[in-house]
A and B are shown apart, each in its own frame.
Chain A
Amino acid sequence: MRRAVSGLGLLLISVSAAAEFSGNVAAEAAIFSESPQFEDQFDDNVTFSFQPKWDGEWNDGDDLWSLELFLRVDDKDAGREHADIREALWLHVDGDNEWRIGINTMFWGVTESRHLVDVINQIDRVEGIDGEDKLGQPMIHLKRYQDWGVLDFLLLPGFRERTFQEKEGRLRTPLVVDTDQAEYESSDEERHVDYSLRFSQTYGDLDLGISWFKGTSRDPVLLPGFDDKGNPVLTPFYEQMTQAGVDAQLIYEDWIWRLEYIRREAESNDYDAYTAGFEYTFYGIMESVVDLGWLVEYSADSRPDDEADILNNDVFLGTRFGFNDAQSSEVLAGFFIDTDNQSRSFRVEGNRRFGESWKGTLELQTFSDIDPDDLLAALENDDFVLLEMAYYF
C-alpha cells in the first residue's frame, strides 16, 4: 500500500515536472456605432479573457494528458461572463488506435463561411457569431488508422447547452433566451448519450470525410415563453436528431474547392443543407511577397425561410491578404449577401504580432439593407468595431 502511494506520488511529480504551460490573456474593447435596438443593451464594452493550457506526456509519447480552461470576465454582459473546460483529456496511443477519454474540442469540415458537419461540440455563441468558438464535450473517442482511411468512433455522454447573451448584450435575439428553462425531447435530458462515426481519407489532392451523428441536436429550437417574472422570453428546446454529413476538399494549383453537405432528420424538420465554393489565391501579387486570396461560397438550406438559420440562401464573398511579414500580418474581409432579400453583413478582421508575445486584432462588422423578415433584423443596429490585445505565454 505504502509502495503504491509513493508510486502514485512519484507519478504525479514526474507528470507535473513534465507539464508544459502555455496560453494567453486578452483584453477586448468593443464600440457599437448605433443606438441599441432593444432595451438595456450597452453601447460599448470592455472584457477580459484568460485561456491557460497545461499538457504533458509519458511512456515515450504514447500517453498524453492536457487541461485547457477558458475564462471570460464581462461586467456588462452577464451572459458572456463564463468559464469552460475546453480540454481535460487523457490520450493513449496503441499502434494504429488512439483513445481519447475526457473533455475535448474538435473541428470537422472544410468550408470557411459555415460549419455544417461540425456537430460534436456545442457552440460557445457568446464568444462569436461564426461558430468557431466551442464548449468542451465529454467523450470516449477511438481513432483507428486503416490503410483505406481513418475511422473515428465517438461516444458522447453529457450534453452542453448553447451559451446566449443576456439582456444587456449586443448581437442577440430580440427576446432574451432563458437558458434556465432549457428542455429536451429525450427523457434522459442532458444525460442522453450521443454517438458519432466518421470516416476520412486523402486521395491524392482530394480529402474526403463522411460522418454520422445520432443524439441531441446542438442547435436548439427557440420557443416563445415567459420567465419567472412573467416577461416574454425564448426557451431553448433540444431535439433528438440524426445527421449524415459529407465534407470534401480538392486542391489544384492555385485553387481550393470545398463542399460540405448534411442531411438532418429531427422532430421539427427533415432537411438538407450545403455550403460549396472555392478559394483562389494569387501568390506574390505585384512582385511583392503579399498573397491575395478570393473566397466564394454559397450556402443553401431546404427548410422554409422562417425555419432555416441565417444562411439559408446566401453568398459569401471574401478576400484574404497574407502579408508574409515578420509580424504575420493578415487581413480577412467578407460579405454575406442573402440572395432572396439582399440583406448584407460585412466583416473585416486584421491581425498582427507586436514584439515577440503580443497579438493585436481589429475587427469591424456592419449589417446593411437588412430585410425586416430576415433573422439578421435583430442585429441591424449592432455594427461594431472591436480591438483585442492578447498576450501569449
Chain B
Amino acid sequence: MFKLESLILLLSIALPAAALAQSPEQKGLEIAQAARAYDKGFTDFTANMVMTLKNKSGQTSRRLIRIRTLEVEGDGDKSLSIFDEPADVKGTKMLTYSHGLEPDDQWLYLPALKKVKRISSRNKSGPFMGSTFAFEDLGSQEVEKYTYRYLRNEPCGEMNCYVMERYPAYKFSGYTRQVVWLDTEGYRVVRVEYYDRKKSLLKTLIASDFQQYLGRYWRPRLMDMVNHQTGKSTLLEWKDYEFKTGLTDRDFRSQTLKRIK
C-alpha cells in the first residue's frame, strides 16, 4: 500500500514534466477527456428544438422536435426524439441507444402504421430530417468515437479556445476530419468545421448564445450548420432546457414508443 502511494506521488511530480513533452495527439485526447468529464453527471435533460431548414434560394421549412436524453453510466446516452412538426410526421418518434464505437441501436415509431420498427443505425452520414445536420453530428459524443490532435490555443470571441482536429474512429462516417474550437473553461464547442471524404470543407457549425444550467453544464441556444457545397443551412434553436427531470430507463424502452406523448 505504502509503495503504491509513493508511486502515485512520484508520478504526480513527474507528470508536469511529461506534459511538456506530450504529443499533440495526447494533448488532444486529454482535452476531449476533460470536456467529457466536465459534462458528466447531468443525469438527464429534456428540451425543445425548432429546426429551420433553408435552401440556396432562401426558402425555409420548419420542424419541431422534443428531445429527452438519459445519461448512461459506462455507455453512450439514450435519447428520444418526438416529432411535432411538420404535421404529416407528427407522432413519429426515434429512440437511440448510442454505444461508443459499436453501432447504435435505433427504433422508429411510425404513427400511420402504428408500428415500432428497428432500423439500421448504419446511416451515420445521412441527413437528419432533410437538414444539413447528419445523424453523426447530433449523436452522443463519446471520447472513443474519435482520435485527436491538438493544434493551438486562440481567442474565440470573448473566450479562449483550444483548437484541435478529430478523426472519426467509428465506421461509416461521412468525414475524414473535423476541426473543433472549444473554450478552455467550460468546454463549450463554439465552432466545428467538417471535411468530407474527399478532404474538402463540407460544413461549418457555429454554436452561440450559451446558457449555463445547474451552475455547470453549458448548452448553446443556437446552432447554425452551413453546407458550403450545397448552399443549404439549418438553424437549431434550443428551448426550455430542463435537467435532472427524473427520467429513467423505463422512459426509453422501444415498446413504450407508441404510447409516449
A residues adjacent to B (C-beta < 8 A): 20, 22, 24, 55, 57, 61, 64, 91, 93, 96, 98, 105-107, 132, 143, 145, 150, 200, 202, 205, 207, 249, 251, 253-254, 256, 281, 283-284, 289, 291, 324-328, 353, 356-359, 390, 392-393
B114 in the interface (beta carbon within 8 A):
yes
Residue of B nearest to A202 (CB): B254
Could you tell me how many residues of chain B have their Cβ less than 8 Å away from some Cβ of chain A? 38
User: Once bound together, how far apart are the Cα atoms of A48 and B85, in whole Å?
Assistant: 24
Q: Is the CB of B261 within 8 A of A61?
A: yes
Contacts of B86 in A (CB 8 A): 353, 356-357, 392
User: Once bound together, how far apart are the Cα atoms of A328 and B130, in whole Å?
Assistant: 7
Contacting A at CB under 8 A, from B102-146, are 103, 105, 113-116, 118-120, 122-123, 125-127, 129-131
Q: Is the CB of A249 within 8 A of B113?
A: no
Contacts of B259 in A (CB 8 A): 64, 91, 93, 98
The distance from the CB of B52 to the nearest CB of chain A, in whole angstroms, is 11
For the complex of A and B, list the 5 residue pairs with the smallest distance between their C-beta atoms, beginning with the closest: A392-B87, A107-B115, A326-B130, A392-B88, A359-B88
B90 in the interface (beta carbon within 8 A):
yes
Contacts of B53 in A (CB 8 A): 326
The distance from the CB of A174 to the nearest CB of chain B, in whole angstroms, is 30
The distance from the CB of B153 to the nearest CB of chain A, in whole angstroms, is 36
Q: Is the CB of A283 within 8 A of B125?
A: yes
Contacts of A281 in B (CB 8 A): 120, 122-123
- Greatest chain A CB density within 10 A among B85, B89, B131, B261 is at B261
The distance from the CB of B130 to the nearest CB of chain A, in whole angstroms, is 4
Contacts of A249 in B (CB 8 A): 118
B220 in the interface (beta carbon within 8 A):
no
Q: Is the CB of B255 within 8 A of A143?
A: yes
B residues adjacent to A (C-beta < 8 A): 53, 55, 61-62, 85-91, 103, 105, 113-116, 118-120, 122-123, 125-127, 129-131, 171-172, 174, 250, 253-256, 259, 261
Contacts of B126 in A (CB 8 A): 283-284, 289, 291, 324
Q: Is the CB of B120 within 8 A of A253?
A: yes
Instruction: Beyond the given A22-B90, A283-B172, A324-B126, please list 18 additional residue pairs across the A-B interface where CB-CB is below 8 A.
Output: A22-B87, A96-B250, A98-B259, A107-B116, A132-B113, A145-B250, A202-B254, A249-B118, A253-B103, A254-B122, A283-B123, A326-B55, A328-B88, A328-B89, A356-B62, A356-B85, A357-B86, A393-B87
